[in-house]
């Protein structure tokens, strides 16, 4: 196999952070090369250098054995490098079709040729088995569908090198499987794939070679066959990780939340009960209505029908503020857009949700704020640990921690988590699980929406499976098995 892409001695610093230090990396034709590492290890930065978003401070890039300069995204695409970035890049007001060709309009004499583009789009969708309705506005797509859109956009470019930066973080099982099939297909066509994921099982399913980054340095780069899962984890975090999921003794208390006959959009008649100290899992596939349910409970969407009771008393949740005042908080699925104010600092993001606790008569108590923020940064090991750091420039996983941190500060009684561990590294994940189990132990109730069935089975006391907006089954801890969950979500 010949070499497609080679990076030599790549370094990159940001103010206060050395993101990459003398990184060497090579990708062969038809190779699936996994890039793994903790949050903030520098994976996305490396990808951004290859795809021309950032310029390396030093180092050389060779493409098909020729030294090249990649100064902007255009250069990379011209060489044949196509990238699916970690953050969702869709234009919400444009249609799917417009989004697909946003950087690649077919035109003749300046006129856009919609028909040609539509045909191309249909062709590629058929080829890869990914189906989206082309005339739908992107804003109306769910987060997984938006990710598929982004992936399609990259596939349309017919590149020689495809880079996927945590593509499955926003996908559910079915789409992930579909993506894997397609990635393998591309590999067989001789395309080189750089694949980033925190889900090491995926790496074992896909990769030929693994490069581990730690603190911006390559720790190892070996064929997958020479590595075990434990090796990879150890290389990633520099120590061995013993237990992944915490041992939980479940002692559910009295019912805290009751939902009766809830209807909204896709949701048809949902009823459920949530107990204090319980972790209730919500499983289901794309379009099952899990996020809709969360949004209704958090006051983003108004239910068409149904009642919500908190501690036996009916409550009306008209806005998120109502929900929060009732002790219900939500860690949204689309963290970047809904969970964070990206242009603001870590401090701003953590305190915005907790201003009432750090103000007196509306006036901010800055020392209280500093204390609260520093504690959150410390507790969640947000890195770099600067309160003034712009959230936009945190690594994906650290952004996630900020979203969760901002709520944990508050004394919520019900925490709804929508895919909370998507995109965070093994270490932080197990940290997150410990946190959940601690929350539950404190008597808080947790609703855990997740597409990771392992996670559900290991963390929950009970799992409710949704299918097409209805409860298709409920499993008690003693009945848990992945097969049952899959069966109930798809039967």
Partner 1 sequence: MRDVKKIELILLGIMVFVFVFMSFLSKQFLNVSTLLQIMQLSAELGIMAIPMTLIVITGGIDLSMASTLALSGVIMGYLWLFGLNIWLAAILAVVFAGTAGLFNAVMITKFDIPPLLATLGTWALYRGMATGIDQGRGVSGFPQGFLKLGEGTLMGIPYSLLIWATISIVIYFIVIKTRFGRYLFAIGNNETGALYSGVPVKKIKIIIYVLAGLLAGLAAVIYTSRVGAAKSNADANGVLGIVAAAVLGGADVKGGSGTIFGTTIAVLIIAFIDSGLTLANIQQTVQEVILGIILVGSIIFYEYVGKSKIRYSLTLQRDSSEEGDTKSSLPTESEVNNTRRS
Ligand X SMILES: Nc1ncnc2c1ncn2[C@@H]1O[C@H](COP(=O)(O)OP(=O)(O)OP(=O)(O)O)[C@@H](O)[C@H]1O
Q: Does 44 interact with ligand X (rule: CB under 6 A)?
A: yes
In a 13 Å sphere around the CA of 104, the CA atoms on its Cβ side amount to 21
Interface region with partner 1, contact rule CB under 8 A, candidates 67-75, 263-271, 422-430, 436-444: 67-75
Nearer Cβ to partner 1 (104/261) = 104
Reply yes or no: is the peptide bond before residue 384 cis, omega within 30 of 0.
yes
Assess 44 for contact with Mg ion (CB under 5 A). yes
Task: Characterize the bridge pairing of strands 3-14 and 17-28.
Answer: antiparallel
Applying CB under 8 A, does 106 fall inside the site for partner 1? yes
Residue 86 touches Mg ion, criterion: CB under 5 A: yes
Part of the chain binding ligand X (CB under 6 A), chosen from 36-44, 218-226, 293-301, 363-371: 36-44
**C-beta neighbour count of 122 within 10 angstroms:** 13
User: Per CB under 8 A, does 242 bind partner 1?
Assistant: no
Q: Report the partner that residue 406 touches, choosing among partner 1, Mg ion, ligand X, none (CB closer than 5 to 8 A by kind).
A: partner 1
Which residue, among 60, 79, 75, has the nearest Cα to 6 in the 3D structure? 60
The token duo for 48 is: 């951004």
Distances (CA, A) of 44 to 26, 52, 317, 473: 16, 12, 39, 39
Q: For the CB of residue 392, give the shortest distance to ligand X in the complex, in Å.
A: 7
- The verdict on 40 binding ligand X (CB under 6 A) reads yes
339, 387, 427, 473: residue in contact with partner 1 (rule CB under 8 A): 339
Per-residue CA distances from 338 to 39, 265, 334 (Å) = 20, 20, 6
Distance CA 216, CA 9 (A): 12
Please tell me whether residue 471 adopts helix, strand or coil conformation.
strand
Rule CB under 8 A: choose which of 24, 58, 65, 74 binds partner 1. Answer: 74
Taking CB under 8 A as the criterion, the residue among 67, 131, 356, 378 binding partner 1 is 356
Which residues lie closer than 8 Å to 204 by C-beta, 6 or more apart? 224, 229
By the rule CB under 6 A, 50 interacts with ligand X: no
Scan residues 13-32 and list those touching ligand X (CB under 6 A): 14, 17, 19
The nearer residue to Mg ion, 46 or 280, going by C-beta atoms, is: 46
Of 186, 79, 63, nearest to 124 by C-alpha is 186
Counting contacts by CB under 5 A, is residue 398 touching Mg ion? no
Interface with partner 1 by CB under 8 A: which range of 167-175, 177-185, 236-244, 348-356? 348-356
DSSP secondary structure of 309-326: EETTEEE---SHHHHHHT
CA–CA dist 383, 197 (Å, integer): 19
User: Comparing C-alpha atoms, which of 17, 41, 7, 59 is closest to residue 212?
Assistant: 41
Q: Which of residues 364-423 bind ligand X (CB under 6 A)?
A: 384, 393-398
Number of amino acids touching Mg ion (CB under 5 A): 4
Q: Give yes or no for residue 60 binding partner 1 (CB under 8 A).
A: no
As a whole number of angstroms, the distance between CA 117 and CA 107 comes to: 9
Binding residues (CB under 8 A) for partner 1: these are 15, 29, 51-54, 72-74, 77-80, 85, 87, 89, 102-107, 153, 157-160, 189-190, 298, 300, 319-321, 323-324, 330, 332, 337-344, 348-349, 351-353, 355-356, 359, 362-364, 390, 392-393, 406
Binding residues (CB under 6 A) for ligand X: these are 14, 17, 19, 37, 39-45, 86, 384, 393-398, 425
Binding residues (CB under 5 A) for Mg ion: these are 43-44, 86, 396
């Amino acid at each position: 196999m010949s070499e497609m892409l080679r990076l030599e001695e790549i370094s990159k610093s940001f103010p206060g952070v050395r993101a990459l230090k003398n990184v060497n990396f090579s990708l062969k034709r038809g190779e699936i090369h996994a890039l793994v590492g903790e949050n903030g290890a520098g994976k996305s930065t490396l990808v951004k250098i290859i795809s021309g978003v950032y310029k390396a401070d030093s180092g050389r890039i060779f493409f098909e054995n020729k030294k090249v300069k990649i100064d902007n995204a255009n250069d990379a695409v011209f060489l044949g490098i196509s990238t699916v970035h970690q953050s969702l890049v869709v234009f919400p007001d444009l249609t799917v079709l417009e989004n697909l060709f946003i950087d690649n309009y077919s035109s003749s004499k300046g006129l856009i040729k919609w028909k040609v583009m539509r045909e191309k789009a249909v062709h590629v969708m058929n080829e890869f088995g990914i189906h989206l309705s082309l005339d739908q506005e992107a804003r109306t797509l769910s987060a997984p569908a938006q990710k598929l859109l982004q992936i399609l956009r990259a596939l349309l470019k017919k590149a020689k090198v495809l880079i996927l930066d945590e593509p499955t973080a926003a996908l559910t099982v079915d789409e992930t499987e579909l993506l894997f099939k397609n990635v393998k297909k591309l590999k067989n066509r001789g395309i080189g794939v750089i694949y980033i994921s925190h889900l090491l099982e995926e790496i074992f399913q896909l990769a030929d070679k693994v490069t581990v980054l730690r603190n911006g340095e390559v720790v190892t780069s070996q064929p997958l066959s020479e590595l075990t899962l434990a090796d990879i984890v150890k290389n990633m975090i520099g120590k061995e990780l013993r237990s992944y999921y915490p041992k939980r003794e479940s002692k559910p208390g009295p019912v805290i939340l009751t939902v009766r006959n809830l209807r909204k959009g896709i949701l048809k008649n949902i009823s459920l009960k949530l107990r204090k100290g319980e972790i209730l899992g919500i499983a289901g596939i794309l379009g099952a209505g899990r996020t809709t349910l969360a949004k209704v409970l958090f006051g983003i969407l108004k239910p068409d029908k149904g009642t919500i009771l908190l501690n036996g008393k009916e409550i009306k949740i008209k806005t998120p503020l109502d929900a929060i005042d009732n002790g219900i908080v939500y860690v949204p699925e689309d963290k970047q857009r809904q969970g964070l104010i990206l242009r603001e600092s870590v401090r701003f993001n953590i305190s915005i949700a907790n201003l009432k606790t750090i103000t007196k008569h509306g006036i901010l108590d800055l020392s209280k704020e500093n204390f609260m923020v520093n504690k959150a940064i410390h507790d969640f090991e947000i890195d770099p640990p600067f309160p003034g750091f712009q959230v936009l420039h945190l690594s994906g996983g650290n952004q996630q921690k900020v979203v969760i941190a901002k709520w944990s500060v508050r004394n919520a009684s019900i925490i709804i988590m929508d895919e909370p561990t998507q995109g965070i590294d093994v270490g932080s994940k197990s940290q997150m699980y410990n946190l959940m189990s601690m929350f539950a132990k404190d008597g808080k109730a947790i609703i855990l929406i997740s597409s990771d069935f392992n996670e559900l089975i290991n963390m929950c006391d009970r799992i409710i499976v949704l299918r097409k907006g209805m409860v298709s089954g409920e499993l008690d801890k003693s009945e848990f098995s992945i097969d049952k969950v899959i069966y109930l979500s798809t039967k």
